[in-house]
Amino acid sequence: MVLPSVAPQGQRGGFVVFLKARVTWTRAAAGLLLSTAAIAHAQHHGASEGVGFSGGRAYEYARDFVAIGPRWPTSPGHLKAEAFLREHFRHDQVEEDTFTADTPIGPVAMRNFIVRYPGKRDGVIVLASHYETNYWLRNINFVGANDGGATTGLLMALADKFRAETAGGRKLDGYSVWLVFFDGEEAIRSWSESDSTYGSRHLAAKWGRDGTLGHIKAFILTDMIGDRDLDIQRETQSTAWLVDLVREAAKKHHDEQYFFQTEESVEDDHLAFVRRGVPSIDLIDLDYGPNNSYHHTAQDTLDKISARSLQIDGDVILETIRLINQR
Ligand SMILES: [Zn+2]
């Protein structure tokens, strides 16, 4: 990520503090009292989900991916990250979308990964994340555990489910699901429209030219939502009906307190799709650590993310997919 636009900083900060206090209380109550709600919640996020999605696996995948270390464009770590994804999805239908980005440091080779799981219905749901870290943070040990790492693990664990459901040539019950791992989301030098979101701008343009965009029913972007202290903002440029479906899905899982308690406009990889008329949502938690102090700092480490947050994300995304298929 990403810079929030619009909202006055002081006002927004104060509002968030209030809400976070409330969330903290809820967690303390659930943990200490082991209330009925807590038990119900544990069941919702535990084994009762069955063949579904494992937040624990998502966390393990994120851990393994983050262990590569910094992975900024042009670095050896970036090549390792690419090799990691290539190896992990070697038995899946993977497309490597390579391109050369025109950046402030000159042309940079970049690579998006697209993994496809076919569905019975005509149309596609895209789940996306970015996987690289910031070039401009190359002189600190910035591993982006939450920023790029957690959501890469999240998509990998969701893939486990789609892979199982499409084994032996079978198809998903609804629309096809495509996972996209974007390169070059972060600015090379300093965030601007031309120095950011290289991978998504490239792919949206390409899919606009070849007609693919017309088949996309929903584009769901995930960014920084491994945060242990999960509070996903309602991103104001996201498509309203998709926001409503996510809210409904969260409610079904009794997770509504983690979603859309605050709203703000965020520049991210969804915008190239929003601007081309694709129904899109950015699921982002841009409130990371005290006064956002873990964001784009060496403090963005694995201990700041949790399997439980990833479980909430995965459950709600899968329910959202179910609701999109019912529409
Ligand atoms: Zn970032």
What digits encode the pLDDT tens for the residues 78-113?
Answer: 999 999 999 999 999 999 999 999 999 999 999 999
Report the separation in Å between the CA atom of 213 and the middle of ligand 1, taken as the mean of its atom positions.
26
51 pLDDT tier (thresholds 50, 70, 90) = low
Report how far residue 234's alpha carbon sits from residue 55's, in angstroms, rounded to the nearest whole number.
22
Tell how far the Cα of 252 is from the centroid of ligand 1, in angstroms.
Answer: 30
| pLDDT at residue 231 greater than cutoff 70 | yes
pLDDT of 315 above 80: yes
Domains of the chain, CATH where assigned: 4-326 (3.40.630.10)
> Quick one: which of 199, 194, 202 has its CA closest to 184?
199
**pLDDT of 28 strictly over 60:** no
Is the pLDDT at 255 greater than 80, yes or no?
yes
Residue 305 clears pLDDT 60, i.e. is over it: yes
124 CA distance to ligand 1 middle (Å) = 27
Ligand 1 centroid–CA 132 distance in Å is 9
Residue 297 Cα to ligand 1 middle (Å): 10
- 285 CA from centroid of ligand 1 (Å): 11
The verdict on pTM exceeding 0.75 is yes
pLDDT of 270 = 98
What separation in Å is there between the alpha carbon of 87 and the centre of ligand 1?
Answer: 25
In this prediction, residue 2 carries a pLDDT of 58
pLDDT given for residue 256 in this prediction: 96
Tens digits of per-residue pLDDT, 187-196? 999 999 999 9
The Å distance, Cα 223 to ligand 1 centre, comes to 8
pLDDT in tens, 202-219: 999 999 999 999 999 999
Q: Is the pLDDT of residue 274 over 70?
A: yes
321 CA to centre of ligand 1 in angstroms: 26
pLDDT for the residue 194: 97
Q: How far is the CA of 172 from the centre of ligand 1 (A)?
A: 32
How remote is the CA of residue 134 from the centroid of ligand 1, in Å? 7
pLDDT band at 115 (very low <50, low <70, confident <90, very high): very high
pLDDT over 90 percentage in the chain: 84
Whether residue 5 is predicted with pLDDT greater than 80 in this model: the reply is no
Sheet strand arrangement including 4-5: 4-5, 259-266, 232-235, 280-284, 216-223, 119-130, 172-182, 106-117, 93-103
Please report the pLDDT score of residue 26 as a whole number: 38
* Closest to 249 measured CA to CA, from 320, 297, 176: 320
Does residue 22 surpass a pLDDT of 60?
no
pLDDT > 70: what percent of the chain?
Answer: 84
- 240 alpha carbon to ligand 1 midpoint, in Å? 25
SS3 assignment for 2-36: CCEECCCHHHHHHHHHHHHHHHHHHHHHHHHHCCH
Q: In angstroms, what is the span from residue 268 Cα to ligand 1's centroid? A: 9
Q: How far is the CA of 160 from the centre of ligand 1 (A)?
A: 26
Please tell me the distance between residue 144's alpha carbon and the centre of ligand 1 in angstroms: 8
Secondary structure E strands in 90-203: 93-103, 106-117, 119-130, 172-182
Q: How far is the CA of 170 from the centre of ligand 1 (A)?
A: 37
For residues 39-56, give the mean pLDDT: 56
Find the 186 Cα to ligand 1 centroid distance in Å: 6
37, pLDDT greater than 50: no
> Model confidence at 1, in pLDDT bands (50, 70, 90)?
low
Spacing, Cα 2 to ligand 1 middle (Å)? 6
At residue 9, does pLDDT exceed 90? Answer: no
Q: What is the mean pLDDT of residues 148-165?
A: 98
With tokens 């063949």, the residue in question is: 51
pLDDT at 52: 80
